[in-house]
Amino acid sequence: MLNRFRNDISKLSISELIQKCINNEEKAQFELYNRYKATFMQLTRRYVSAIDQVDDVYQEAFIKIFKSIHLLQNNDAFIPWAKKIFIRTALNIQKSNKAYLYEEVIDQCIEEPAEDFYHPSISMDEVAKAISDLSYSQRTVFNMYVIDEMSHDEISTLLEISESYSRVLLTRARRQLRNNLLECGEIVLKPTQTS
């Protein structure tokens, strides 16, 4: 009987599931919590330095989601809305654990373009490893801008830094990522075009 109910609730659309969550139906909340677990756990891992904090961030973010899900105006926008909650939650935990320190000096930042590169045979695992080797500040801005497609304006607001510093960190991240991959012999620099 319980299995049949589980199958019934797992067949609900996201809109139906969110409506049941708004009505505080525990089984719907459990379903929503588990339905996107792989997606949101992967997202959380990108922003949390300590692996043992990933579960804490996941649970805390879902508590926030359930408290404010009634404010979601478009149920089809659940994933981007929830992603922002997860990112903010992870960043807040990093701040409270003092892992959120930016080592670069803002006053001396000059934005320089990173060289383009391509990767003929690099695997996603190799790219993920190279990204994880970036400094925390560079990795955070790179993930927010490149992977989670946030603007420098959004990044600067969430990280409480200037937009220009966000751009500098992104440029440095790209350059360091390129260097990390070059060391592995995995990428080739694109030839510079002259006009």
The domain segmentation of the chain, as residue ranges, is 2-96, 106-189
Q: Which of 36, 2, 3 is nearest to 18 (CA)?
A: 36
- What integer pLDDT is reported at residue 59 of this predicted model? 93
Task: Point out the residues of the chain with pLDDT beneath 70.
Answer: 1-7, 97-121, 184-195
- What integer pLDDT is reported at residue 146 of this predicted model? 92
pTM for the model stands at: 0.73
- What integer pLDDT is reported at residue 41 of this predicted model? 92
106-189 belongs to which CATH class? mainly alpha
CA distance 1 to 7: 10
CA distance 60 to 18: 18
Tokens for 180, please give them.
């990390």
- What integer pLDDT is reported at residue 133 of this predicted model? 87
CATH number among 1.10.10.10, 3.40.640.10, 1.10.1740.10, 1.10.533.10, domain 2-96: 1.10.1740.10
Q: In whole angstroms, how far apart are CA 173 and each of 14, 81, 99, 144?
A: 36, 26, 18, 12
